[in-house]
A and B are shown apart, each in its own frame.
With several copies, the nearest count.
Chain A
Amino acid sequence: MTDVADPIQQTAPEAPVSAWDRVKLARNPKRPHTLDYLHDLVADFVELHGDRTFGDDQALIGGIGKFDGRSVMILGHQKGSDTRENLKRNFGMARPEGYRKAERLMRHAEKFRMPVITFIDTSGADPTLGSEERGQAIAIAESLVTMAGLRVPIVATVIGEGGSGGALAIGVADRVLMLENSVYSVASPEGSASILWKDAAKAPEAAERMRITAHELLEFGIIDEVIAEPAPAHENARTAIRATGQAISRHLRELIAAFPLHDDEALDRLVAARYTRFRSIGSWQEESAG
């Protein structure tokens, strides 16, 4: 989909790192989270709250800020780095209110022709009675609908855990990037292991078999770039954040050059290109009609 020849992607860890190691790194509570990226990469951030129908979800935050000289809409799951903060942030597991806020802010971005930048960092959407009552499935689905048709460029980056529909809900982007020690999976390794191996303890094996690491997903063409972590991000946050900022900036500039924000016809092409991007993901064989 995009140029994958950038040398940054060739960076491989010196010692072999297992998929399960990546999972542990992705979940390290000291790993930088969305607010850390905002702090280092974004100026004049104004957080905007609420879904206008029920609540304000602190597990999925959003607002307007200046990134690389441009005012953009930024959205991201927010995990805590300690228990107290994790309770406030619901461990980064967003509720329907969070996805509805995201959708509202994406429409806001579209109205004012602001690009959208998202940071994916969740083990999955909140699985509780309350979230089910208030339409967790529909909230995620509507966010997908909105992103699929949004007439501004979107760049998504998986910075830690990208888990299930709760991650994809802010991941239908023109470019999808992953940090080297992030993972992106259809279900958590534990969940996959209990479904497929009937044993949650097989999570390390599931992590390996499910192909959830950045380099594997790049090979599949599902993501567009791997952002190297010369040291794991929780050991050198500044470097990881800076590299992430550089990568997002590069992709955003490419997108804006190809699809200028003032050009309605170009924005039609942008949405069509995003369609083609996701339309083409899948793996099947086709028998010629007998």
Chain B
Amino acid sequence: MRGFFHRQSKFQPVDPDENGNDQSIPDDLWVKCPGCNELLYSKELNDNLRVCPKCEHHFRLRARERIAMLTDVGSFQEWSSRILPQNPLGFADGSGTYEGRLERTQRKSGELEAVIAGEATVEGKPLALVVCDFDFLGASMGSVFGEKLVRATEAAIERGIPLMTINASGGARMHEGLFSLMQMAKTVAALNRLGAAGLPHLSVLTDPCYGGVTASYATVADVVMAEPKAMVGFAGPRVIEQTTKQKLPEGFQTAEFLLEHGMVDLIVSRDQLRVMTASLLTHYENARVVAAEASAAVNAEAHGEDIVVSFHSMAPERAPDSAQTGEAL
């Protein structure tokens, strides 16, 4: 599976004009892997979708890096890029006003807010896409986050296409107070409408994913995927330890822990996400489109013709587990 994306540019080039910086990582640096402590040459790491070749540690990615890795080259069209945060509470804390904080974050991150929304294709299949950028205030969910996600959902309904969210978040955007909390209700309500329209929501949980995002739209998707070892939970481990004086078990809140506890559908390593997404999209499209057509065809068939059924694979007599796609871990 390695090198799956080589036929497209490693990272789809980000338009440097839009946000004023190019986010790709220089190829000539050494990076220490937090998973195995090995020094990795960043070119090698980049060529491997920023997954450590030694221990498979998945490095965190910026939103536009994820979009580039997932979508067909040149297919991404950004939506709602000009919805900007403001300061409804007139909030200021020890480090100054919220506006000041936003401005510094925008300059440093090169993004205007914590999610990028848009439309793209994956293996030719169209979808609406909302991707969190953890480098923007920990991808905290504020008004703009909620609004962009809801608009993307509404656009998906209008266009009749599925929605995929790639999630990472530290939680609520504290600076926006209760406006922030209410985005949980707002996003979930919009996604109810997507479901009522028969369109799927695929969610990918990436490291780290906590608080309001996990406790709203991201975990009630039709399919919930997680990247290996991603940390996912409601309350953070530090809060739990402080509150309960409890020692937390090894592997607590990892994607593997969530899978074992029945909370996610499958763990998908980064190099498999594209093919898994395409496979799922094909199934839902199939169910949507083929069902109606097949009904008609079968009607004809049922009145006369022999039924010839062909199955895809007759190769090995017995199936080893591991051959099952999606049989995670």
Contacts and interface: CB of A to CB of B under 8 A. Distances in A.
Query: Do A and B share a direct contact in the complex (Cβ within 8 angstroms)?
Result: yes
B314 A40 contact: yes
A97 B326 contact: no
B299 A71 contact: no
B262 A278 contact: no
A47 interface: yes
A142 B214 CA distance: 11
Contact of B84 (A195, A202, A285): A285
Given A129-B240, A211-B89, A97 B262 contact: yes
A38 interface: yes
Nearest to A272: B193
A147 B186 CA distance: 11
A165 B291 CA distance: 32
Interface in A9-28: none
Chain B: number of interface residues, binned into ranges: 35 or more
A46 B325 contact: yes
Contacts of B215: 125, 136-138, 140-141, 144, 165, 169
16 contacts: A50-B264, A71-B284, A112-B284, A127-B239, A138-B219, A164-B181, A165-B216, A186-B180, A210-B91, A211-B178, A220-B88, A238-B314, A249-B309, A279-B186, A281-B185, A288-B82
B262 A54 contact: yes
Contact of A222 (B179, B198, B282): B179
Interface of B: 82-86, 88-89, 91-94, 143-144, 146-147, 150, 172, 174-186, 188-193, 195, 198, 200, 211-212, 214-220, 222-223, 232-235, 239-240, 243-244, 246, 248-249, 252-253, 259-266, 276, 279-280, 282-284, 286-288, 290-292, 294-295, 298-299, 301-302, 307, 309, 311-314, 316-319, 321, 323-328
A81 B318 CA distance: 10
A275 B189 contact: yes
Interface of A: 32, 35-36, 38-56, 63-66, 68-71, 81, 85, 97, 101, 108, 111-114, 125, 127-129, 131-138, 140-142, 144-145, 147-149, 164-165, 168-169, 171-172, 184-187, 192, 195-198, 202, 206, 209-212, 217, 220, 222, 237-238, 242, 245-246, 249-250, 253-254, 256-257, 260-263, 274-275, 278-279, 281-290
Given A127-B243, A209-B92, A284-B147, A49 B328 contact: yes
A140 B286 CA distance: 30
A217 B84 CA distance: 22
B301 A253 contact: yes
Contacts of B86: 283-285
Contact of B311 (A141, A242, A254): A242
B150 A279 contact: yes
A6 to B, nearest CB: 12
B262 A165 contact: no
Contacts of B193: 275
B219 A141 contact: yes
Contact of A55 (B85, B94, B261, B324): B261
Q: Which of A54, A141, A246, A284 has the most CB of B within 10 A?
A: A284
